[in-house]
Amino acid sequence: MSEQMSAYDVVVIGGGAAGLSGALTLGRARRSVLVIDGGEPRNAPAAGVHAYLGHEGRPPGELLAAGRDDVRSYGGRISPGQVIAVEQDSAGFTVRLADGGAARGRRLLVATGLVDELPEVPGLAELWGKDVLHCPYCHGWEVRDLAIGILATGPMAVHQALLWRQWSDNVTLFAHTAPEPGDDEYEQLAARGIAVVDGDVAALEQESGRLTGVRLADGTLVACQALVVAPRFTARAGFLAGLGLEPVEQEMAGTVIGSSVPADATGRTAVPGVWVAGNVASIMEQVVGAAAAGARAAGAINADLVAEDTRLAVATWRDATAPRTETAFSAEMERQVSERVLSHGRHGL
C-alpha cells in the first residue's frame, strides 16, 4: 500500500469465506471495501469443501479464487498483508500492516479465523487435513468404513468416538492423555464395538504420505487409516488488543477447547464500528456457516453506515435551511433599502 493511506467505507481483515462473503455483500451495497488477506486459510490442507450446497467437494483455493473475483466485480479491492494493529479515532479506524502500510476504514469487519493448535505427536502435523481430522461432517464421508482412530486428549474423547462410529464400524479409542472413561462410558463403547487401547501414543506411521498406523510408547503398532484429534481452536485476534477487544475462552463439557471474540448475532462487538464473522467469532463454524455469518455482518454494517450517513445529511440539511439570525436579517434589510434608494435616485435623474 502507498505511504498515503487510502480510505474506505469498510476494511475487511481476512480473506476467507466469511471475509469475502462480507465484502461481496458490501460491494453490492455500493460501499467502498478493502479486503486485507493474510494468505493463511485454515482449510488449505483439505482436498475439498463439504456440506456447502452447490460447492460440494470444491478445492478450498478454487472457492476463494472465485470469491475474490466476485468481490472485485463489484469494485472491491483485495490486498495481501498481515495486520499487526488497529487504532480508533473519531473518524474511524486505522489498520496498520507488518510491511509499514496502513489503511483507513469507517467500519471494520474482522474475519481472520482461528489457528488449530494440534497435539504434540510426531508425524501428526504433516498429515493434518488429510488423514488427521477433527470434524466428521467435514471429512467423515471421505474416511467411511476405514480404520479410524480417536486420539484421546480430553473428556470429550468418548463422545468423539461414538460420533465417528456413525461413519465406520472399525473405530479405536487411543486412551493417550485423556482421563479414563467411566463405567457407563466403557459400556457405551463396548456396545458400539469400539476398541480401547491403553498407553500413550508416541508417533504416527505413514507411507507415501498416507497414515498407516499409530505407534504406542511401548513400541506396539496399531493399524489405522485415519486419526481424529481435538485441536485447541485459538482465535487470530491479537491485533485487536489496542481496541480493548480480547478473545475469551470457550468451554465444552467443562474443558477449554479454544477462544473467540465475543459478539452479538450479527457479529457486532463491544467496540462500536467493529464486527466479527466466521471462526474468529464461532469456533465450530463450517465454511458455509462462515460465509453466511460474513453476509449477515455486512448487512448490519451497511445499515449502521446508512444511519450515520443519514445523521450527517440531516445535519447538513438543517444548516442549509436554518432561519437567518437577527444580524443576518438586519444586514439583508439594509441592503434592500440601499438598493431602493439608489433606484429612486436613478429615476430622478
Q: Which of these CATH numbers, 3.30.450.20, 3.50.50.60, 3.40.640.10, 3.30.1360.20, describes 119-228?
A: 3.50.50.60
> Half-sphere exposure (CA, 13 Å, Cβ side) for 267?
33
Domains 6-116+232-309 and 119-228 share a fold: yes
Give the Cα-Cα-Cα angle 194, 199, 200 (nearest 5 degrees).
110
Low-confidence ranges of the chain (pLDDT < 50): 1-3, 341, 346-349
The architecture in CATH of the region 6-116+232-309 reads 3-Layer(bba) Sandwich (3.50)
At 176, the amino acid letter reads: H
CA pair distance 105, 93, nearest whole angstrom: 5
pLDDT score for 349: 39
pLDDT score at 252: 86
Residue 5: what pLDDT? Answer: 74
Q: What is the pLDDT of residue 6?
A: 87
Check residue 348 and give its pLDDT: 46
The span from the CA of 270 to the CA of 301, in Å, is 14
CA distances for 85 relative to 100, 239, 249, angstroms: 11, 5, 22
pLDDT reported for residue 1: 41
Q: What is residue 343's predicted lDDT score, i.e. its pLDDT? A: 55
Determine how β-strand 83-89 pairs with β-strand 6-13. unpaired
- What's the pLDDT at 84? 97
Q: Would you kindly state where each structural domain of the chain is located, as residue ranges? A: 6-116+232-309, 119-228
165-189 per-position pLDDT tens digit: 999 999 999 999 999 999 999 999 9
Strand bridging mode 77-80 / 33-37: parallel
Rounded to 10°, the helix 60-73/17-28 angle is 20
pLDDT at 3: 40
> How much of the chain is helix, strand and coil, in % rounded to 5?
35, 30, 40
This prediction's pTM? 0.89
